[in-house]
């Protein structure tokens, strides 16, 4: 600075600028602006904290529909078959028990996240498990959610090829499905929440279509209840747990909730909505078919829709599947967003858009190399179900136990 600058200071009464406090000019330090206070060091956001802007905040309704529509994916199409093989016509009792377990797992999730309200999933893991263990677990979650996208995607491709487009190239179907998923997963979380609301409203008419089959249903097919004893019902719990998966996205959504006090109520509402759909579809399928027939149909829900006849539409299940693709995009985009957000935290990226591109390229590359048949996908899905149950149900309980042990250890040191 030159001499004229200091002369201007003297003309302003020794102030750096008009209105600046003289004591600040005398010490060469600027005083805090009026009405502002300096934040103490211990209140500065640590790594892993989330600054949830309005564009990243979710309302309670969006939070519920986001989890609910993530749960209602491919599982509802195959559920009556899988559940009947395990529990017979008493599978609806297994569904109730599965709902209880899913709700309990959601409770453990929220209890851990509630102790770290200002942190992301990554920050919470590091706070509970330590830096390196937390990042290792986050990497496992990235792998799990990315594999979930692949399994759901290729299962949907097989369904479309069998029911609608038999001669369509599998790679082209993958590309067609990934375009809307890519566009949605790149958006802000609030936009995805609004899309979940749209999907709920847009597909609200689909479940009542199953009611058309009730005119040929036989309620006696539901009897006897628990005729084979308690063991088949308990054996069916595993089959009932997989359709409820999707509530684990609460790990990612919780920091962005506008009202975090209603977080568990949201998990309970989403699980309950899914339960109503699953029990409705299972009971209707059991009354329309017999338990023996349900064991032979891979997708009984689609077989039910063959009972829907209209003068201007011959195969209504094709129309149903065409609209069902919109619902599946919610499941795919939610897990893709989860995986991309995890990669963003691991590599320190500014946003999740580049990780989304990376994952899309990997999915297309896999589709180019590997073209699984229906039998291969059944084998992959069966093995992956065990992994999914471990990540969605066992992990929240273990994480809560680690948090409790850490809390008790700190209390003992005091």
Condensed to tens digits (0 to 9), the pLDDT of residues 244-281 reads 999 999 999 999 999 899 999 999 999 999 999 999 99
Residue 193 has pLDDT above 50, yes or no: yes
pLDDT at 55: 60
Question: Which stretch, 206-210, 253-257, 349-353, has highest mean pLDDT?
Answer: 253-257
Q: How confident is the model at residue 8 (pLDDT cuts 50, 70, 90)?
A: very low
Q: Is 186 helix (H, G, I), strand (E, B) or coil?
A: coil
**301-323 average pLDDT score:** 81
Residue 32 has pLDDT above 70, yes or no: no
**318-344 average pLDDT score:** 91
Residue 40 has pLDDT above 50, yes or no: no
CB 345 within 8 A of CB 338: no
Q: Is 310 helix (H, G, I), strand (E, B) or coil?
A: strand
Identify the burial level of 41 via C-beta atoms within 10 angstroms of its C-beta, where 0-12 means exposed, 13-18 middle and 19 or more buried: exposed
pLDDT at 96: 96
Helices assigned H by DSSP within 289-373: 291-294, 300-304, 316-347, 353-369
Better pLDDT: 9 or 291: 291
pLDDT at 375: 87
Strand partners, 49: 119
Residue 7 has pLDDT above 70, yes or no: no
Residue 233 has pLDDT above 80, yes or no: yes
Residue 150 has pLDDT above 90, yes or no: yes
226: left (phi over 0), alpha (psi -120 to 50) or beta: left
**16-21 average pLDDT score:** 42
Q: How confident is the model at residue 240 (pLDDT cuts 50, 70, 90)?
A: very high
pLDDT at 405: 87
pLDDT digits (tens, 9 = 90+) for 169-181: 899 999 999 999 9
Output the average pLDDT for the chain. 83
Domains, the chain: 53-377 (1.20.1740.10)
Q: Is 269 helix (H, G, I), strand (E, B) or coil?
A: helix
Candidates 203, 200, 182, 209; CA nearest to 307 is 209
Give the length of the chain: 414
pLDDT at 16: 39
Q: Is 386 helix (H, G, I), strand (E, B) or coil?
A: helix
Residue 95 has pLDDT above 80, yes or no: yes
pLDDT at 203: 85
Residue 189 has pLDDT above 50, yes or no: yes
Candidates 114, 59, 101, 77; CA nearest to 328 is 77
**323-344 average pLDDT score:** 92
Q: How confident is the model at residue 52 (pLDDT cuts 50, 70, 90)?
A: low
Strand partners, 86: none
CB neighbour list of residue 9: distance below 8 Å, 6 or more residues apart: 15, 16, 25
């Amino acid at each position: 600075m030159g001499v004229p600058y200091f002369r201007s200071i003297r003309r302003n009464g020794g102030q750096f600028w008009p209105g600046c406090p003289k004591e600040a000019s005398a010490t060469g330090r600027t005083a805090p602006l009026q009405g502002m206070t300096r934040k103490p060091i211990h209140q500065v956001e640590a790594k892993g904290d989330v600054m949830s802007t309005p564009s990243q905040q979710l309302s309670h309704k969006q939070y519920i529909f986001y989890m609910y529509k993530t749960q209602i994916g491919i599982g509802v199409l195959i559920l009556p078959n899988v559940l009947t093989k395990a529990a017979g016509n008493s599978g609806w009792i297994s569904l109730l028990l599965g709902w209880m377990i899913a709700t309990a797992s959601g409770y453990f999730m929220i209890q851990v996240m509630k102790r770290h309200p200002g942190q992301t999933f990554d920050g919470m893991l590091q706070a509970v498990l330590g830096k390196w263990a937390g990042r290792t677990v986050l990497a496992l979650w990235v792998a799990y959610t990315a594999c979930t996208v692949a399994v759901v995607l290729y299962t949907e491709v097989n369904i479309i090829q069998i029911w609608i487009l038999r001669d369509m190239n599998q790679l082209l179907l993958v590309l067609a499905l990934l375009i809307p998923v890519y566009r949605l997963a790149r958006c802000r979380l609030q936009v995805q929440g609004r899309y979940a609301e749209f999907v709920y409203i847009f597909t609200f008419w689909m479940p009542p279509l199953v009611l058309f089959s009730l005119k040929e249903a036989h309620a006696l097919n539901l009897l006897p209840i628990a005729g084979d004893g308690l063991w088949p019902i308990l054996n069916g719990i595993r089959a009932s747990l997989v359709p409820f998966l999707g509530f684990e996205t609460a790990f990612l959504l919780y920091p962005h909730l506008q009202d975090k006090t209603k977080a568990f109520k949201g998990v309970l509402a989403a699980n309950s909505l899914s339960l109503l759909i699953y029990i409705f579809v299972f009971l209707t399928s059991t009354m329309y078919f017999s338990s023996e027939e349900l064991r032979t149909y891979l997708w009984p829900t689609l077989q039910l829709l063959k009972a829907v006849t209209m003068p201007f539409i011959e195969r209504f299940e094709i129309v149903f599947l065409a609209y069902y693709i919109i619902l599946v995009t919610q499941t795919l985009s939610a897990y893709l967003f989860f995986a991309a957000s995890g990669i963003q935290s691991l590599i320190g990226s500014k946003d999740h858009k580049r990780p989304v591109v990376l994952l899309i390229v990997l999915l297309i590359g896999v589709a180019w190399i590997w073209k699984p048949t229906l039998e291969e996908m059944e084998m992959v899905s069966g093995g992956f179900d065990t992994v999914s149950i471990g990540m969605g149900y066992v992990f929240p309980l273990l994480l809560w136990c680690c948090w409790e042990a850490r809390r008790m250890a700190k209390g003992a040191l005091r």
